[in-house]
Every structure is written in C-alpha cells, then in structure tokens.
Amino acid sequence: MDIEYLRKKTNAINTASYEKQIYDLKQLLEISKSLSTELNIHTIIDSILYICMCQMRTLSAGLFIQKDFDAPAFTLASNYNGMEIDESIDYSIPVSHPLLNLLERTNMTYSYEELKGILKEAADGLEVFEPLKPSLIVPLIAKRHINGILVLGERIDLGEGNIYSSYEKEQILNIASLAAIAINNAQLMDMATTDMMTKLKTKHYFFTILTDKIETSAKQEIPLSVLMFDIDFFKKFNDTYGHDCGDYVLKTVADTIKNGIRAQDLASRYGGEEFTVMLYNTDKDTAFKIAERIRKKIEGLKLKYNGNKVSLTISIGLSTFNSREPVSAKQLVVEADTALYESKRTGRNKTSCFSGS
C-alpha cells in the first residue's frame, strides 16, 4: 500500500514537472516572438525586465548595456524597474573590467557574493551592484559576445529567500539569450540609421519617422513642427583651421541640438552642415521657442580649437503641419528649408517661420 502510494505520488510529481517544462517552452516561444518583432531598444529593455521579473518572481530588475556600439562602459539603462536608487549616480562598468570577460567566457549566472569571491582583486569595481540589491546577475550573450548584464533584485518571498534552482538558472539564461539577440538586432538597426560623426539619425530614417508621425498627427489632429538648421559660414572653419575643426563644429552643434530637444523629438543630420529636427505634438509658437533656445545656446558657446577662439552661429527655418491642410513629409521639410533661406537672406543667426506665401 505504501509502495503504491509512493509510485502514484512520484508519477504525479513527474507529470507536474513535465507540464511545467512544456509550459516554460511555450513561454520561451512567446517571448521569442515578442522580442523578435521589436527594434526600439527602450521598448525591448522594458519587455525584457517585465518578462524576467514575472518569470523569476522578483521585485526589481535592471539592465546594463552600452549606450553606443563603441561606448567605453556598460551603463544601467534608465528604464530600470522597481529599484530605489540615487538617479544622480552613474552606474557603469568599464568594458575593461574582468567581470565582462568572466561573464562572456562562462555564460553563467552568479550571485553578487559569488562574484566578489571570484573577482577578489577587482571587487572594487563590483560595488556598482550594491545599491541594486541583486539576487542574481545574468549575462546577455549573442554571437559569443556580451551585450548586456541583467541584474535581478530581491525575490518575492517564497520561503527560500533569494535562492535559485538549477532549472530556474537555466531558464533565465534561455530568456537572456533571446534578449541578447533582440538587443543585438536593435543595436545593428541603430548603427544603420545613425550618422557616425554626429550620432544623430540619418536623413532617410528621419523621413521614415516623419512620414509616420504626420499620418498620426493627421488622424489625431495634433500639431507637428519641423526645424531646419544650417551652420552660418561653415566653409570658413574648414578653410581657416582645417577639416578637423569643421568636424569639431559639426559635433558640437549636433550635441547642442540633441540636448535641446525632448525624448519625443527626433534630430538628424540632413546633409553637410544642415540638420533637421521633428518636434512631435508641437505647435508653431512652442517650436519657435525651442528653436530660439537652441540658437541662443549655440551663439553663447565659448569654443576654442587649437588655442583659437571659434565664433559660431546658426540659422533656422520652421514649418508646422496643419491637419486641416495636410502636406507630405517632403513638402514640410521644403517649407522649413524655405524659411531657413529667409533667415540667411535677412542676416543669419535667427529663426524664421514658413509663411506660406
């Protein structure tokens, strides 16, 4: 009787285990489908953190990634979840830190305490994890290259504290592998649509997004504005100080533009010394204020190149999409360019709005 009872109990446990594995495999398939259809890195990170927190039943999670493909460090992405940390601190791990080599070489999960024991001589660099209260640290490996570090926070109390079973560690590594591929694809997309010198988006990508946002603006009857920038007398920088100075000026203007717009906006290098900005859900008056703020910021820069003072100004043209009189993305940019020409014709270092005449 006791043997028969144990046999039935064992069979029930085995059946439950198999059902759990089948369920988890189905979950992995759904996760793969979800991540493979998305190319926006911020959306991907949100999905990864949500999935991992649910699957591993943790209260928080964060992801360290390289902000650019050649960034010198892995930095905690700003859309971490559930972590109460000091946002003024830069949570980063240099690419040269031994941790990266260890994770890439082993592709294993580690607790914070395990890492401190293994990397005793480099333990100081691991202190970045301390405020995150990690229960598990997971590498994201794609094509044998690490492109992210997942940090899982404290687990929901299951009576076992922060202990993970071997099966759970295997499961989170499977999810991490899918996440790494998704991040790799998003980063490749970002590289393909980014101007390498200025780090702004390319002209082609700008038109793709602008076309999409114009359709949305027309349906929802919300405003959208376009700014076109041109560096005044740009040729003199190349002729007087050389092309390296010209590159320096381009990067400086690009950085100022990028820092002067919002997350919902999009800046691109249109060509040469011209830049475009899409200001989503922004009317003409607000767009003018943004343009003038950027113009004045650039005018006030105190630049030096090889010991020489460099004076810098820009001219700006502004056009605004009106859902009652819709135009194409190309036409909206032409209108901004027409307004830009007016700024240059009437003295430069100013913002002009397209009048329609």
Plot region of 143 (φ>0 → left; ψ -120 to 50 → alpha; else → beta) = left
SS3 string, 113-177, reads HHHHHHCHHHHHHHHHHHHHCCCEEEEEEECCEEEEEEEECCECCCCCCCCCCHHHHHHHHHHHH
Q: How many CB atoms lie within 10 A of CB 116?
A: 16
User: Would strands 266-271 and 274-280 be described as parallel, antiparallel, or unpaired?
Assistant: antiparallel
Residue with token string 């691991």: 126
Catalytically annotated residue among 87, 121, 170, 273: 273
Q: Give SS3 for 91.
A: coil
Contact assessment for residue 95 and residue 73, using Cβ atoms and an 8 Å cutoff: yes
Token pair, residue 245, equals 């100075």
Q: Give SS3 for 286.
A: helix
Cα 126 to Cα 34: distance, rounded to the nearest angstrom = 32
Residue 273 among the catalytic residues: yes
- Strands of the sheet containing 92-94, edge to edge, are 92-94, 73-76, 61-65, 145-152, 136-142
Q: What is the phi/psi pair of residue 75, to 5°?
A: -120, 145
User: Would strands 266-271 and 224-231 be described as parallel, antiparallel, or unpaired?
Assistant: unpaired
Alpha carbon distances (Å) from 232 to 90, 200, 229, 274, 302: 36, 19, 9, 10, 16
Residues 6+ apart with CB under 8 A from 67: 75
Cα 335 to Cα 320: distance, rounded to the nearest angstrom = 9
- Residues annotated as catalytic are 273
